[in-house]
Amino acid sequence: MHDQSSIPYDVVIAGAGPVGLFLACELQLAGLQVLVLEQSQDSHSALKQLPFGLRGLSISTLEAFHRRGLLEEIVAAQQLTSDAIKRAAHWMQQTRRPAGHFAGLQFYQDNIDVAKWSWRLPTSADANLAVDMATLESVLAARARSMGVEIRRGFAVNAVVASSEDVTVQAAGETFRAR
């Protein structure tokens, strides 16, 4: 049997991408001690920056960020790069901007009257926010750290072994344990 008092973490998360970082924040809010391990040493990968790192956030993602007070931070950080985003996303320069599709049939922004929607997020974010991964991860990592989440870079997870008492994670030659 392992001594539970010697286990410093409740949860170990492999990956400091948007999902891992948001999950870490949620678990920390629940009172758990969280460690995030990320294999990349550098959070500023060229693939996370424009144009390759451009991502559109879904409505449910925007709602989740809004509920946690993150949406305005993401919008403010994204606005610093909004001109670069418009250059990277050719569809944002078109006179008729696509808004999505239904059953494969394209529909456009100018055909949507958002004033008639009975419910909208009380925020400056548009219903279709585009943000680069570097900006998104920067905001989420800052929030996670401010909440007490430990983030370690340069730790590629090699193995995960679960027992009835704990989980052992091996990464970059070190061993981490969680409940």
Residue boundaries of the structural domains of the chain: 4-178
Residue type at 17? Answer: G
pLDDT digit string (tens) for 2-29?
444 457 899 999 999 999 999 999 999 9
Strand partners, 131: 55
55 close to 21: Cβ distance less than 8 angstroms = no
Topology of domain 4-178, CATH: FAD/NAD(P)-binding domain (3.50.50)
Confidence at residue 141, expressed as pLDDT on a 0 to 100 scale: 97
pTM of this prediction? 0.75
pLDDT digit string (tens) for 78-109?
776 666 555 555 555 666 666 666 787 777 76
Residue 45 Cα distances to 9, 52, 56, angstroms:
28, 10, 19
Q: Angle between the 133-147 and 18-29 helix axes, to the nearest 10 degrees?
A: 20
Give the chain's end-to-end CA distance (angstroms, integer): 13
For the chain, counts of helices (H) and of strands (E): 5, 10
- Alpha-carbon distance 125 to 175, whole Å? 42
